Amino acid sequence: MKSQMVPIVCIAALALSVCVVCGGKVLVFPIDGSHWVNMNILIKELHSRGHTITVFRSSGSWYIKESSPHYSSITIDTPGGFDEAFLNELTSRLIQIQADGESSWTRLQVEWELMVKGAEMTQMEIEMLSKLLDDHKLTQSLKDAKYDLVLADPVEPSGAILAHYLNLPLVFNVRWTALGEGHFAIAPTPLSYVPMPMIELTDKMNFLERVLNVLFFAFYELQAEFILRPMYAPFTNKYLGPDVDYFQLIQGADIWLMRVDFVFEFPRPTMPNIVYMGGFQCKPAKPLPQDLEDFVQSSGEHGVIIMSLGTLVSELPKRIIEEMAAAFAQLPQKVIMRYTGEKPSTLGNNTLLVEWLPQNDLLGHSKTKVFVAHGGTNGVQEAIYHGVPILGVPLMFDQPDNLSKMRAKGAAKVMDIFSVNRDSFLQGLQEVLHEPSYRENMQRLSRLHRDQPMKPLDRAIFWIEFVMRHKGAAHLRTESYKMPWYTYHSVDVILFLLAVMTTFVATFVFGMKFLCTRICCKRKSKQE
C-alpha cells in the first residue's frame, strides 16, 4: 500500500472555506491567567472570521486587557480575577518546600491555602456577577445586543449563569470544571480505567491504584456537594429562581470544546456534544531569527536540546540549575536554555542562555533532539505536534500528571527535578537522546495527532458557528443530568424488579409449602 501523510495545512485551508457564518456576536466569559491564553486563541480566530466579540473582565484583571483589536470589553469594577502575585508567591513556596525536602504536612498546608484561595476567587467571581446582574442598565444593554451565544470557561460559574440569564446558547472552552476533569460533568466515567486527574495514573491500573482512583472521585464529589453547591445556591436562588441548580447549568451547555486529544490522553467514554480540540494552538514552525538559526546549525549532526520550564524556573534553587547546566556542558549537543536567573557558574560553551525563546519554532526545527520541559499542557501538546521526545522535570499542578501520560506512551522520561544531580540528569538526557524508542514513539504520536479530517481549531470554530446557525445543539445533548441519581442509575428499577422477584419466589415457596402441607394432611388423614 502506498500511503502519504495528510498535509494538515492543506486540510486547514479546505476547512476555512467551510466558514459561512459571518457577523455572529459572541459574549465571552474567560478565566484570567493561563486559561485566558487558550481562550484568546479562539477569540482571535473568531474575530478573523468576521465575528464580533465582547469580553467580560474585572477591573483587577492582569492578563485580559481592556482594549484589543480582536474584541471589545465590558469591565466590572471589582478586584476579582486572577491574583497572579498571590499565585506566584504560593507556587514559589511550594517549590521551596519540595526543594528543601520539607514534610508532607507543610506541603499539605500550602496546598490547603491554594484551595482556600480558589474558593475565595470563586466567591469574588460570584460577587462580581451579583454586581453585574444588579446593574439593570447593563443587563438591559446585554439583552438588547442580541448575542448569538456565550463562550465561557466552566472553571468559574459566570458564563453558564449569564447564558441562562440571557437565554443564550452556551459553548464551553474547557479542560477542567469545578467537578474535576471536564468529562466528569457529562460523560459516564468508569473509574476502573478512567484515571482521575492529577494523580498520575493511567488507563491500566492495579487494584490499589483503582482504590485510590475511587477515593479521589469521592473527594471531588464531596467537595462539589458540600463546598461548591452551598456556595452557589444563595446566588442562583436570588437571581435565577429556586429551581435552578448550578451544576445543571454547567451540564446543560450546548457544546463542550474540550482541550483534550486522545494522542495525549487515554481513550474514554465521551458524548456527542463533546468536540475535541486538543492541540488547537499548534502550528507549523516559522523560520528562526538568523542568530538563533546560526547557533542551531552550529550543532552539526548532534543537534540541539531545548529547555523551557515556564516562568517558574527562576524560583528553582540555584543548586539545581547549576547541576543541570553542568550536565548540559558534558554533551556534544548545543543547548538552548530559557532561564532568567543568575548565570550558572557551570554553564558550558555549548549552552545558550535566553530569557525567552520561540518555543514552537524551535520544537519544529529539524535539529531539535530533546525537549527538557516542566510538562505544562500546551508545551506537551506542541512537543507531540512536532514529534520531539521529552525529558520531563515536573514542578506542580497538572504537570506530573501530563508527563506521566507521556511516559506511559513511551515518549518521555520523567525525573524528579528536586533530586537531580549532574550525573543523573546527564544520564537522563543521554537516555532520551540515544534510546530510539522515545523519538519513535513521539513521532508516531505526532503522525496520529496530525492525521485528522480537520484541524482542531477549525473544528472548534465550526461547532461555535454551528451553534450560532441553529441557536444551540440540543440534538447532541442528553438531558439525563436532570434525572435524580437513583433514576439515572436505574436503582429504582432494580429495586422494583428485586421486589417483584422476591414476591414471586416467596409466593411460590409458600404456595408449595401450603400444597405440601395439604397433601401431607390428606395422606395422614387417609392413613388414619
Q: Binders of a copy of itself among 421-450, rule CB under 8 A?
A: 445, 447-448
Considering only CA atoms, which of 220, 147, 166 is closest in space to residue 189? 220
Per-residue binding letters, 451-470, with a copy of itself (x by CB under 8 A):
x-xx---xx--x---x-xxx
Min dist. Cβ of residue 488 to a copy of itself (A) = 5
Q: Smallest distance, Å, CB 23 to a copy of itself? A: 5
**Rounded distance, CA 447 to CA 65, Å?**
37
CB under 8 A: which stretch of 267-275, 322-330, 340-348, 382-390 binds a copy of itself?
267-275
> Which CA distances in Å does 159 have to 43, 48, 182, 364?
15, 23, 15, 36
Secondary structure in 3-state letters for 460-492: HHHHHHHHHHHCCCHHHCCCHHHCCHHHHCCHH
**Residue (307 or 442) nearer to a copy of itself, CB:** 442
Q: Which of 262, 504, 508, 514 binds a copy of itself (CB under 8 A)?
A: 262
Q: Compare residues 43 and 468 and give the one whose CB is closer to a copy of itself.
A: 468
Question: Is residue 376 within the footprint of a copy of itself (CB under 8 A)?
Answer: no
Among 271, 329, 352, 353, binds a copy of itself (CB under 8 A): 271
Q: Does 148 participate in binding a copy of itself (rule CB under 8 A)? A: yes
Query: How many residues are present in the chain?
Result: 528
Give the burial class of 489: count Cβ atoms within 10 A of its Cβ; 0-12 exposed, 13-18 middle, 19 or more buried.
Answer: exposed
Q: Which is nearer to a copy of itself, 148 or 315 (CB)?
A: 148
Phi, psi of 301 (to 5 degrees): -75, -15
Report in angstroms how near the CB of residue 472 gets to a copy of itself at its nearest: 10
Q: Please report whether residue 114 would count as binding a copy of itself according to CB under 8 A.
A: no
71-79, 106-114, 203-211, 223-231 -> range binding a copy of itself (CB under 8 A): 203-211
- Interface with a copy of itself, residue 144, by CB under 8 A: no
Half-sphere exposure of 115 (CA within 13 A, CB side): 11
Using rule CB under 8 A, residue 489 touches a copy of itself: yes
Q: How far apart are CA 470 and CA 480, in angstroms?
A: 22
Q: Give min distance, CB of 501 to a copy of itself, in A.
A: 12
User: Which residues, at least 6 apart from 489, have a Cβ–Cβ distance to it below 8 Å?
Assistant: none
Strand partners, 74: 56
Please give the residues from 7 up to 36 whose contact with a copy of itself meets the rule CB under 8 A: 10-11, 14-15, 17-18, 20-25
Torsion of Cα atoms, 14 then 20 then 24 then 28, to 10°: -20
At closest approach, how far in Å is the CB of 3 from a copy of itself? 5
Residues 6+ apart with CB under 8 A from 79: 58, 59, 60, 124
The answer to whether residue 143 forms part of the interface with a copy of itself (CB under 8 A) is: no
- Which is nearer to a copy of itself, 356 or 485 (by Cβ)? 485
